Chains A and B, each alone.
Chain A
Amino acid sequence: MIVLQILVSIFVLIVLGKLFKQWHNEKITLANFLLWCLLWLAVLLVFWQPDLTSYLANFLGIGRGADLIIYLAILVIVYLVFRVFVRLQKLEKDLTKLIRDEAIKNAEKR
């Protein structure tokens, strides 16, 4: 376990570094920065104190800590897929409008 813990820690530190850089360059807002920091720190915590998740899982009525993590992960992924989907629809719509306007404009020139 200890090897994995060290590897994950290094990975999380790199991610946090990148996040800090993005915030520093004003690519993301402070709120976003803090939210992502919190998330990755939580990941760190879970890897160093795996029992924590079990307490939480038991509290929520789920058998094992690992199960809780999977459930949460699926929820987050479904939410993100939904966001991407909505975004994609908007892009498709915008693209159609762009192509339509261009087609109408070019016809008038002819």
Chain B
Amino acid sequence: MKIFVIIPAYNEAKNIGKVLQDLADLKYQVVVVDDASQDKTSEIVLKFPKVVLLRHRLNRYQGAALETGNQYALKHGADIIVHFDADGQFLVSDIAGVIKPIIEDDYQVVLGSRFLGKKSELPKLKEYIFFPLARLVNYLFFNITTTDPQSGFRAFSKDVAEKLKIEQDGMAHCSEILAKIFQHKLKVKEVPITVLYHHFGQNFGGGLKIIKDLLFSKISK
């Protein structure tokens, strides 16, 4: 069974080395999509010969980078695709738990959730204000309810990859993927993951931009 781990990276020279080091011992095919970083992200990735490096010549944002990785993985016979972060927020050891329901229980999509049991140190502002708001937006736009509205840690089988094609280049892809899961009624499971916060991630302005992207995507279709 071929498992591809897609890591979108934009100016992650500081963290990507450690993430790839952690992944080196595991039997996953790692694909890093360098979204036109201005720092040494690519150079660091090239030090890992088994890792595939895809380079965007211009910055096309995270959603676009993930989709580039998806297409490469499908082209090279992936059975399961895992989305992972370059900034070291996620634990490599959680990957096994995320792909397990697909391998053993025939699930099509698995979402990593910060809010199911495992301990994540979440900033209070995020836990009590931003995430409830994000859940509300997801509910209003797509009529979906999940515990973790903006998780970047997910896995899906190749059979549903085409249905989960990411069209939102920006950060709205998280909501987009959730929407498609529910729209196509895919068999989905949430599993607990640990998230380490070194920095805040999306701020409120970023959240507003996601809403804007979602609104406009409804207009321009």
Question: Are B64 and A100 within 8 A (Cβ)?
Answer: yes
Instruction: Enumerate chain B residues within 8 angstroms of A26, measured Cβ to Cβ.
Output: none
Q: Which 8 residue pairs of A and B lie closest in terms of their CB atoms, listed nearest first? A: A103-B54, A100-B68, A89-B220, A96-B64, A96-B60, A107-B54, A99-B56, A104-B72
Instruction: Enumerate chain B residues within 8 angstroms of A110, measured Cβ to Cβ.
Output: 53
**SS class, residues of chain A in contact with chain B:** helix
Question: Are B57 and A100 within 8 A (Cβ)?
Answer: no
Residue of B nearest to A100 (CB): B68
Instruction: Enumerate chain A residues within 8 angstroms of B87, measured Cβ to Cβ.
Output: none
Residue of B53, B58, B169, B220 touching A107 (CB-CB under 8 A): B53
Closest Cβ of chain B to A85, distance in Å, is: 7
Residue of A85, A99, A100, A103 touching B220 (CB-CB under 8 A): A85
Give a binary string over B2-41; 1 marks a CB under 8 Å from any A CB, 0 the rest: 0000000000000000000000000000000100000000
Give a binary string over A66-95; 1 marks a CB under 8 Å from any B CB, 0 the rest: 000000000000000000011001001101
Closest Cβ of chain B to A2, distance in Å, is: 46
In the assembled complex, the Cα of A78 lies from the Cα of B56 at a distance in Å of 34
Closest Cβ of chain B to A100, distance in Å, is: 4
Q: Is A106 an interface residue (CB 8 A)?
A: yes
9 additional contacts (CB under 8 A) given A85-B219, A85-B220, A103-B68: A85-B216, A86-B220, A89-B220, A99-B56, A99-B58, A100-B56, A103-B57, A104-B71, A107-B52
In the assembled complex, the Cα of A102 lies from the Cα of B54 at a distance in Å of 9
In the assembled complex, the Cα of A50 lies from the Cα of B71 at a distance in Å of 61
Closest Cβ of chain A to B204, distance in Å, is: 24
Instruction: Enumerate chain A residues within 8 angstroms of B56, measured Cβ to Cβ.
Output: 99-100, 103
Most chain A CB within a 10 A radius of its CB, from B67, B68, B216: B68
Residue ranges of A at the interface with B (Cβ–Cβ < 8 Å)? 85-86, 89, 92-93, 95-96, 99-100, 102-104, 106-107, 110
Residue ranges of B at the interface with A (Cβ–Cβ < 8 Å)? 33, 52-58, 60, 64, 67-68, 71-72, 75, 167, 169, 216, 219-220
Most chain A CB within a 10 A radius of its CB, from B54, B58, B75, B167: B54
Residue of A85, A93, A95, A106 touching B55 (CB-CB under 8 A): A106
Could you show 19 A-B contacts with beta carbons less than 8 Å apart? Answer: A85-B216, A85-B219, A92-B169, A96-B60, A96-B169, A99-B56, A99-B57, A99-B58, A99-B60, A100-B60, A103-B33, A103-B54, A103-B57, A103-B68, A106-B54, A106-B55, A107-B53, A107-B54, A107-B55
Question: Are B58 and A100 within 8 A (Cβ)?
Answer: no
Instruction: Enumerate chain B residues within 8 angstroms of A106, measured Cβ to Cβ.
Output: 54-55
In the assembled complex, the Cα of A107 lies from the Cα of B34 at a distance in Å of 11
